[in-house]
Amino acid sequence: MADWQDIATHIAAVTGEPFAPRPPRHVGGGCINTALRLGDGQREYFIKLNDAAGLAMFEAEATGLAALAATETLRVPSPLCTGTSSGQAFLAMEYIPLGGRPRGDGAATAGRLLAAMHRASTAEFGWERDNTIGSSPQPNTPERDWVVFWRERRLGHQLQLAAANGYRGRLQERGVLLLERFGALIDHTPVPSLLHGDLWGGNMGFGPEGEPVIFDPAVYYGDREADLAMTELFGGFGGDFYAAYREAWPLAPGYAVRKTLYNLYHILNHLNLFGGGYRAQAEGMIDRLLAEIG
Ligand code: ADP
């Protein structure tokens, strides 16, 4: 177990202010890491812990949080520092009390702010560094062509992980066919938008003022539809959210089909992380997409 007093020393060094916290409290709800709340009654920090090998993952998460925060759109916890302590890696960030009631039109505000965040753009798809999606590696080597990026760094990459995990046969045969053909579905010239990258309902909440907050990102520059698609994967963010997003930045025709193409990445990732029924779900999505392409 990491030494919380040692982590407090790191935090004090970064902030330049003394920090003598009380013993930490555990925070539940995460999928990958152990989480702690570390505070002295005045200041409070959210600390994630993992094996020492998780340091690069935390460094990438901190860089991603900083990139999202720089857009000054949706609220994001400010990253503070990363490091190792007693053989564990840690990431310290601003603690934001979640579970607030959405302010008036909270869902619509979230939709508008997400569209504004997606306006942050760059020359190529990908990112300055690789990161992780869940605990799977997510390659981000920049690429000008979105179809190539989605084929090689996203779907093809997860299909290769699936083969290495023993998911062969029909999934791979149909998957390879989809890799060859899915370009036909990308007829809307996406720009490289700054994406959260893992925007399911569990990674968004409302802060103390009812403001929408996003956290736990897997940042890269990609087609903004990939972020939107994921919000719909495990439940959806409500009609007001989507209406406000589309009003701020309308979507091109064909999104309803591409949504499945983009969410296939996450379902393949779930297959690789959790196994089970995700194989049948992935095959069903591939079949539907191939039927669309004809
Ligand atoms: P994991 O990386 O293990 O999936 P999360 O980043 O999803 O962990 O965090 C776990 C839970 O802790 C979240 O569901 C959320 O409720 C809460 N949480 C995440 N970040 C913060 C934060 N900065 N401040 C307060 N609570 C947070």
Q: What is the 3-state secondary structure (H, E, C) of 13-53?
A: HHHCCCCCCCCCEEECCCCCCEEEEEECCCCEEEEEEEEHH
Length of the chain, please?
294
Which sequence spans correspond to the domains of the chain? 4-94, 106-293
| Strand 79-85, strand 44-51: pairing | unpaired
Decide if pLDDT at 6 tops 70.
Answer: yes
CATH architecture of the domain formed by 4-94:
2-Layer Sandwich (3.30)
> Within 13 Å, how many C-alpha atoms sit on residue 183's CB side?
11
d(CA 271, CA 82) in angstroms, rounded, equals: 30
**Site to substitute for ligand 1 among 43, 96, 216, most atoms within 8 A of C-beta:** 216
For ligand 1, atom 19: residue with the closest CA: 215
pLDDT digits (tens, 9 = 90+) for 32-73: 889 999 999 999 999 999 999 999 999 999 999 999 999 999
Interface TM-score (ipTM) > 0.95: yes
pLDDT at 1: 64
Check residue 87 and report its DSSP letter. Answer: T
Q: How far is the CA of 278 from the centre of ligand 1 (A)?
A: 25
Q: How far is the CA of 29 from the centre of ligand 1 (A)?
A: 7
The verdict on the CB of residue 31 being under 6 Å from ligand 1 is yes
pLDDT at 45: 98
Atom of ligand 1 nearest to the CA of 61: 2
**237-240: long-range pairs with CB below 8 Å, 24+:** 237/107, 237/110, 237/111, 237/201, 237/204, 238/107, 240/105, 240/107, 240/108, 240/111
Name the 3-class secondary structure at 271.
Answer: helix
Please give the average per-residue pLDDT across 234-261, as a whole number.
95
pLDDT digits (tens, 9 = 90+) for 91-131: 999 999 998 788 778 999 999 999 999 999 999 999 999 99
d(CA 35, CA 238) in angstroms, rounded, equals: 29
d(CA 267, CA 272) in angstroms, rounded, equals: 9
Which pair of tokens denotes residue 293? 């392409």
Residues classed as catalytic: 198
Name the 3-class secondary structure at 234.
Answer: coil
pLDDT at 33: 84
Decide if pLDDT at 77 tops 90.
Answer: yes
Closest CA to 171 of 292, 275, 273: 275
% pLDDT > 70, the chain: 100
Check residue 242 and report its DSSP letter. Answer: H
Type of residue at 156: G
d(CA 210, CA 176) in angstroms, rounded, equals: 45
Q: How far is the CA of 131 from the centre of ligand 1 (A)?
A: 17
Decide if pLDDT at 138 tops 90.
Answer: yes
47 bridge partner residues:
36, 92
Instruction: Detail the DSSP E strand segments found in the chain.
Output: 25-27, 34-39, 44-51, 79-85, 88-94, 131-133, 136-138, 193-195, 204-206, 212-214, 220-222
pLDDT digits (tens, 9 = 90+) for 193-206: 999 999 999 999 99
Confidence tier at 2 by pLDDT (50, 70, 90): confident
Decide if pLDDT at 279 tops 90.
Answer: yes
User: Per CATH, which fold does 106-293 belong to?
Assistant: Aminoglycoside 3'-phosphotransferase; Chain: A, domain 2 (3.90.1200)
Please give the average per-residue pLDDT across 246-272, as a whole number.
98
Q: How far is the CA of 129 from the centre of ligand 1 (A)?
A: 22
Decide if pLDDT at 140 tops 80.
Answer: yes
For residues 215 and 198, is the Cβ–Cβ distance under 8 A?
no
pLDDT at 218: 98
Check residue 215 and report its DSSP letter. Answer: -
The verdict on the CB of residue 69 being under 6 Å from ligand 1 is no
pLDDT digits (tens, 9 = 90+) for 150-177: 999 999 999 999 999 999 999 999 999 9
d(CA 188, CA 251) in angstroms, rounded, equals: 9
Atom of ligand 1 nearest to the CA of 215: 20
Q: What pTM did the predictor assign?
A: 0.96
The verdict on the CB of residue 56 being under 6 Å from ligand 1 is no
For 275: left if phi > 0, alpha if psi spans -120 to 50, otherwise beta; the answer is: left
